[in-house]
Amino acid sequence: MLTLSLAQMDVATADPKSNLEKTRRFAAEAKAKGSDIIVFPEMWTVGFNWEYNRKHASEHEETLNAVKSIAASHSIWVHGSLPALTDEGIANRSVLISDKGEVTAWYDKAHLFSLVGEERHMASGRSRTLADTPWGPMGLAVCYDLRFPELFRRYAVDGAELIFLPSAFPEPRLAHWRTLIRARAIENQLFMVSCNQVGTKQLEHPTTFFGNSCIIDPWGETVIEGGTEEQLLTAEINLSKAREIRNYMRVLDDRRPDLY
């Protein structure tokens, strides 16, 4: 069994100190609830102030080190996305940190959200990442990736039984959020673990993130789902359910890659 907590956060824009303090509080609460992994939203350490994130690029590694220390001090695995400085610029990096405070896997967001010009500010990832964990293989994706089913199918074919999706999904696309997460879970017969931001921020225009963080099981059933406020959601899952459903309905085996 695997116990997960989703830290549905109202992220303080350009204020890593405040966000790290929330991270500590949420990690302590999740550990007290018996969680093995705590999951945070997309860009949870700083939010989406492009100028700030670029100006303070050299400080992102320091913030990551602080998160690693939190994971180790609370003996809990941590996942979420944050900015990372690369040779090509700043990437939106999904990281999986062990309960020893070590980065065990990372993935740079491949699909950048052109609707808000993300490609002008962030470096695109060039590869997918299947993380090897004590509970089984897990895929890493970020927010807008959700609209590209090929990535998720590739993870499923590679053996993923769960995919993490840290997000900053805003109004008015709640119906898209719920539909696409459930579709990715059903069609690939795996768990979708999706943690979304809440709160209203001034980006190009006022933007409200609607929360509704959730875990959807391989049959498309809701394990847990949040509301629109800041909160910690905790649930227990059994990853063997993915294997059971794949053995019962052999969707992955019945594919016709010779046709598509």
pLDDT class of 29 with cuts at 50, 70, 90: very high
- 254 domain-assigned: no
pLDDT at 43: 98
**Is residue 39 a part of any domain in this protein?**
yes
Return the pLDDT at 85. Answer: 93
The answer to whether residue 260 sits within a structural domain is no
Kindly tell me if the per-residue pLDDT of 219 is higher than 90. yes
- What is the reported pLDDT for 205? 81
> What's the whole-model pTM score?
0.96
Amino acid making up residue 194: S
Query: What value does the mean pLDDT take over residues 24-53?
Result: 97
Active site residues: 42, 109, 143
Give the model confidence (pLDDT) of 86-116 as tens digits: 999 999 999 999 999 999 999 999 999 998 8
d(CA 155, CA 136): 13
Is 42 inside any structural domain?
Answer: yes
**Contact (CB, 8 A) for 27 and 74:** yes
- The tokens describing 82, both together, are 């944050």
- The answer to whether residue 119 scores a pLDDT higher than 80 is yes
Is residue 203 over pLDDT 90?
A: no
pLDDT at 58: 87
Supply the range of the domain harboring residue 153: 2-248
Contact (CB, 8 A) for 14 and 54: no
Q: How far apart are CA 257 and CA 181, in angstroms?
A: 23
Q: Tokens standing for 254?
A: 């019945």
Q: What CATH number is attached to the domain comprising 180?
A: 3.60.110.10
- Is the model's pLDDT at 204 over the cut of 90? no
* Domain assignment of residue 257, yes or no: no
Per-residue pLDDT band at 194 (split at 50, 70, 90): very high
The whole-number pLDDT of residue 6 equals 98
Domain count, the chain: 1
Enter the DSSP assignment of 74.
H
Over residues 170-194, the mean pLDDT reads 98
182 within a domain of the structure (yes/no): yes
* Strand-strand pairing, 77-86 and 162-167: unpaired
DSSP-assigned letter for residue 124: P
pLDDT tens for residues 146-164? Answer: 999 999 999 999 999 999 9
Residue 202 has pLDDT above 90, yes or no: no
In this model, does residue 75 exceed pLDDT 80? yes
Q: Does some domain include residue 253?
A: no
- Per-residue confidence (pLDDT) for residue 82, from 0 to 100: 97
Q: What is the pLDDT of residues 133-150, one digit of tens each?
A: 999 999 999 999 999 999
Residue 160 and residue 130 in contact, taking contact as beta carbons nearer than 8 Å = yes
Classify 165 in phi/psi space as left (phi over 0), alpha (psi -120 to 50) or beta: beta
- 255 within domain boundaries: no
Across 230-246, average pLDDT: 97
- Using pLDDT thresholds of 50, 70 and 90, give the confidence band for residue 67: very high
Q: How far apart are CA 139 and CA 158, in angstroms?
A: 9
Is residue 190 predicted with pLDDT exceeding 80? yes
User: In the prediction, which pLDDT does 39 show?
Assistant: 98
